[in-house]
Amino acid sequence: MKLGLQLRLKQTLAPQLIQSLKMLQMPILKLEQTLRHELSVNPMLEETEPELSQDQVETPDEINLKEGEDKIDPQLDKIDWESWSVNEFDEYKVKNLVSAEEEPYERVPITEKTLYDHLTEQLSYLKLDEEEQLIGEYILGNISPKGYLVVSPEEMSEELEIPVEKIDRILKMIQRFDPTGVGSRNLRESLLIQLEDKGYKDSIAYRVVDQHVNELDKKSILQISRSMGLPFEKVQQAMDLIKTLSPFPAHGGFESSAIPIIPDLIVDKIGDEYVVYHNDRHTPHLRISPGYRQLLKAGNKTSKDTKKYVREKLEQARWLLNSINQRRSTMIRVMEAIVEEQSDFFEKGPAFLKPLIMEDIARKVEMNVATISRVSNGKYVQTPQGVYEIKYFFNSGIANEDGNEMSKRHVKNKIEEIIRAEDPEKPLSDQEIFQKLQEEGIKLARRTVTKYREESKILPARFRKRKA
Per the structure, the complete domain to which residue 161 belongs is given by 115-183+253-258
Work out the pLDDT band at 13, boundaries 50, 70, 90: very low
Do 369 and 289 share a structural domain? yes
Which among 313, 326, 356 has a CA at the least distance from the CA of 338?
A: 356
Q: What is the pLDDT of residues 72-81, one digit of tens each?
A: 334 333 334 3
The residue from 394, 410, 443 where one domain ends is 394
> Residue 347: inside a domain, yes or no?
yes
Do 266 and 383 share a structural domain? yes
> Residue 326: inside a domain, yes or no?
yes
Write the secondary structure of 359-389 as one string of H (helix), E (strand) and C (coil). HHHHHHHCCCHHHHHHHHCCCEEEECCEEEE
The residue from 345, 374, 394 where one domain ends is 394
CA-to-CA dists, residue 36 to 48, 121, 263, 271, angstroms:
13, 19, 19, 37
Q: Given a cut of 90, is residue 276 above it in pLDDT? A: yes
Report the mean per-residue pLDDT for the chain: 77
Work out the pLDDT band at 280, boundaries 50, 70, 90: confident
Do 350 and 284 share a structural domain? yes
* DSSP per residue, 417-465: HHHHTSBTTBPPPHHHHHHHHHHTTB---HHHHHHHHHHTTPPPHHHH-
Work out the pLDDT band at 85, boundaries 50, 70, 90: very low
Do 390 and 265 share a structural domain? yes
> Residue 22: inside a domain, yes or no?
no
Q: What is the pLDDT of residues 296-337, one digit of tens each?
A: 666 566 677 777 888 888 888 888 998 999 999 999 999 999
Most confidently predicted of 3-17, 72-86, 434-448: 434-448
> Residue 26: inside a domain, yes or no?
no
Do 375 and 278 share a structural domain? yes
Of the candidate ranges 61-65, 247-251, 460-464, the one whose mean pLDDT is the lowest: 61-65
**DSSP 8-state symbol, 61:** P
* Whole-angstrom distance, CA of residue 185 vs CA of residue 181: 9
Do 316 and 192 share a structural domain? no
Domains identified in the chain, total number: 4
Q: What is the pLDDT of residues 354-363, one digit of tens each?
A: 888 888 899 9
Q: Given a cut of 70, is residue 234 above it in pLDDT? A: yes
> Residue 29: inside a domain, yes or no?
no
Residue 432: per-residue pLDDT? 92
Q: What is the pLDDT of residues 152-185, one digit of tens each?
A: 899 888 877 889 999 999 999 999 998 889 999 9
The residue from 373, 394, 415 where one domain ends is 394
Write the secondary structure of 178-202 as one string of H (helix), E (strand) and C (coil). CCCCCCECCHHHHHHHHHHHCCCCC
Do 313 and 387 share a structural domain? yes
Q: What is the pLDDT of residues 90-144, one digit of tens each?
A: 333 333 333 334 444 444 433 346 788 788 888 888 888 888 888 898 898 888 8
- Give, in degrees to the nearest 5, the angle at Cα 288 between 282 and 293: 165
In this structure, are residues 462 and 217 in contact, taking their beta carbons and an 8 Å threshold? Answer: yes
Residue 396: per-residue pLDDT? 67
Do 390 and 349 share a structural domain? yes
